[in-house]
Chains A and B, each alone.
Chain A
């Protein structure tokens, strides 16, 4: 496989990263 995520990249990691960017976008959309 040319690209594979590391095995310790679990669902919690992706939730944390997604949450971070969504909070940033949501915060800017609501508060601006």
Chain B
């Protein structure tokens, strides 16, 4: 299938860049907050262990729990920056796509370029999704402060929520239907 809508593609990609950049900077702000807690970690520890539902843990273990929680967000942050980097490659790839192919060879090469650009775009969005999932698992990591059992239970719960949202909702069904219809549409053009 051939279509030439570069300005439209650029608008769509621009919106993606904006949303990934937003998540990147939001995560950076949260991380800055968490890392600043490390400066006064002793007083934070004394405040937290006084809470009735928090298990009586040593200061060292408390620091490990904080490190695990901040590690999840750090990984999420780096996923966002990596996704942004991939998406910027996509901008270059889509921007450089040639138009007006005449020979069969030119069409073949053009198809390869379109396929490569869409692969990089898919990878960028996969990395972005990986970072988004990090927020869910950050919530599960917070359960460590109460009990490791709660952390395991929250991990199972968050995983279930993610699986449900990916395959169980009417949104995901609609997207799948759309993708299937698009594939059939492409087949009919060949």
Knowing A6-B58, A7-B58, A27-B162, say if A19 contacts B152 (CB, 8 Å). Answer: yes
Report yes or no: B58 in contact with A20, Cβ–Cβ below 8 A.
Answer: no
Report yes or no: A32 in contact with B155, Cβ–Cβ below 8 A.
Answer: no
CA gap between A7 and B60 in the complex, in Å = 9
Knowing A15-B148, A16-B148, say if A28 contacts B64 (CB, 8 Å). Answer: no
Interface of A (DSSP majority class): helix
Interface of B (DSSP majority class): helix
**Chain B, interface size: which category?**
20 to 34
| Given A17-B151, A27-B159, 5 additional A-B pairs, CB 8 A | A8-B57, A16-B144, A20-B140, A21-B137, A24-B72
Pairs across A and B, CB under 8 Å, 26 listed:
A5-B60, A5-B64, A6-B58, A6-B61, A6-B64, A8-B58, A9-B64, A13-B61, A13-B64, A15-B148, A16-B151, A17-B144, A17-B151, A19-B151, A20-B68, A20-B72, A20-B137, A20-B140, A20-B141, A23-B156, A23-B159, A24-B134, A27-B133, A27-B159, A27-B163, A28-B130
